[in-house]
């Protein structure tokens, strides 16, 4: 992405939309990040994210899967709506549907998803419970490129936090969410300013292959608390 271009970001959601809101706030309040959100699409007519988008003045659209006769018809409508936004990047932020390869193909290498685990551990739902059941001492969130395999695409970036003895699934989710927002902002900033590509299962950044996911927890301690006072994060 060159510096005279503001990256066009489309966001896909199904629910609450806190990652969308945090990203919108970051892009509005940090003009140094050359990116802006061009639209939000929800597959759920009742998603809270739709209200947030309207409140923030972000164009919002519903593509309701249940209103289409087949998954193919739903994905056709989704591809059309996304294409109309002409996005450089598509961010899945709490989008609860697995897309087929046909729906991903037009946007291959430009679609990322945020997932609340340290991938490749704990794909799918109930990640906080899975971390506790496995007795793990670390938890976190990942942003990966989207493929047809659920939470299975190449991982670009992560943020980590320690699991406390006293944690339950609710406290893990609560403590992780602000870190997800941090990861989302930092990753979109990277996509907007650097040459990030994903092809044939490999990620390159400015021409160099990424061998491990970027760890984007700078400024956070091992519990995910800020080491100094956050300013504009
Ligand atoms: C987040 O935990 C994200 O990692 C997962 O779904 C949740 C979405 O939250 N994929 P929100 O809708 O952004 O508040």
- CATH 3.40.50.170 fits domain 7-215: yes
pLDDT score at 231? 45
**What residues are labeled active site?**
115
Q: What is the structure's pLDDT at 177?
A: 97
Alpha-carbon span 38 to 60, nearest angstrom: 9
Walk along the chain (233 residues) in steps of 10 and give the mean pLDDT of each run.
81 98 96 96 98 98 97 98 98 98 97 98 98 97 97 98 96 97 97 97 97 87 63 43
pLDDT for 228 equals: 59
List pocket residues of ligand 1, CB cut-off 6 Å. 13, 15-19, 93-94, 114-116, 141, 180
> Which of 12, 13, 19, 46 to mutate for ligand 1's pocket (most ligand atoms within 8 Å of CB)?
19
User: How far apart are the CA of 229 and the centre of ligand 1, in A?
Assistant: 25
**Domain chopping of the chain, boundaries:** 7-215
Q: What ligand 1 atom has the least distance to the C-alpha of 173?
A: 2
- The dihedrals phi and psi of 184, each to the nearest 5 degrees, come to -60, -50
Q: Which atom of ligand 1 is nearest to the CA of 19?
A: 13
Burial (Cβ within 10 Å: 0-12, 13-18, ≥19) of residue 36: middle
How confident is the model at residue 145, as a pLDDT? 98
Q: What pLDDT is recorded for position 217?
A: 83
CA distance 24 to 28: 6
Cα 194 to middle of ligand 1, angstroms: 25
| Residue identifier of the C-alpha nearest atom 2 of ligand 1 | 116
Report how far apart, in Å, the C-alpha atoms of 147 and of each of 86, 179, 195 are: 20, 24, 20
Atom 10 in ligand 1: residue holding the nearest Cα: 94
Nearest Cα residue to atom 6 of ligand 1 = 94
| Whole-number Å distance between alpha carbons of 194 and 139 | 27
CA distance to 102, 111, 195, per residue, from 181 (Å)? 29, 17, 22
Between the CA of 177 and the centroid of ligand 1 the distance, in Å, is 8
Upper half-sphere CA count for residue 34 (Cβ side, 13 Å) = 13
CA of 63 to the centre of ligand 1 (A): 19
The per-residue pLDDT for 215 is: 95
Nearest to 47 by CA among 59, 61, 34: 61
Q: Does the predicted TM-score (pTM) go above 0.85? A: yes
Residue 181 Cα to ligand 1 middle (Å): 9
Give, for ligand 1, the residue of 18, 93, 159 to mutate: max count of ligand atoms closer than 8 Å to Cβ: 93
Question: Rounded CA gap, 141 and 176, in Å?
Answer: 8
């Amino acid at each position: 992405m060159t510096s005279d271009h503001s990256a066009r970001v489309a966001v896909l959601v199904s629910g609450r939309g806190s990652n969308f809101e945090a990203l919108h706030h970051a892009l509005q309040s940090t003009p140094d990040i050359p990116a802006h959100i061009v639209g939000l699409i929800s597959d759920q007519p009742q998603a809270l994210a739709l209200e947030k988008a309207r409140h923030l003045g972000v164009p919002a659209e519903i593509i309701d899967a249940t209103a289409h006769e087949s998954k193919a018809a739903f994905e056709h409508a989704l591809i059309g709506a996304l294409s109309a936004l002409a996005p450089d990047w598509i961010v899945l932020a709490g989008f609860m549907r697995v897309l087929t390869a046909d729906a991903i193909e037009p946007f291959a290498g430009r679609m990322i998803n945020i997932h609340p685990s340290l991938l490749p551990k704990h794909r799918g739902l109930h990640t906080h419970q899975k971390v506790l059941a496995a007795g793990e001492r670390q938890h976190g969130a990942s942003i990966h490129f989207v493929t047809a395999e659920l939470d299975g695409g190449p991982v670009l970036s992560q943020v980590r936090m320690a699991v406390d003895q006293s944690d339950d699934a609710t406290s893990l989710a609560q403590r992780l969410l602000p870190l997800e927002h941090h990861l989302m902002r930092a990753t979109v900033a990277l996509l907007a300013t650097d040459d990030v590509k994903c092809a044939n299962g490999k990620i390159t950044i400015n021409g160099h292959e990424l061998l491990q996911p970027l760890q984007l927890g700078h400024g956070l301690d091992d519990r995910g608390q800020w080491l100094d006072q956050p300013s504009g994060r």
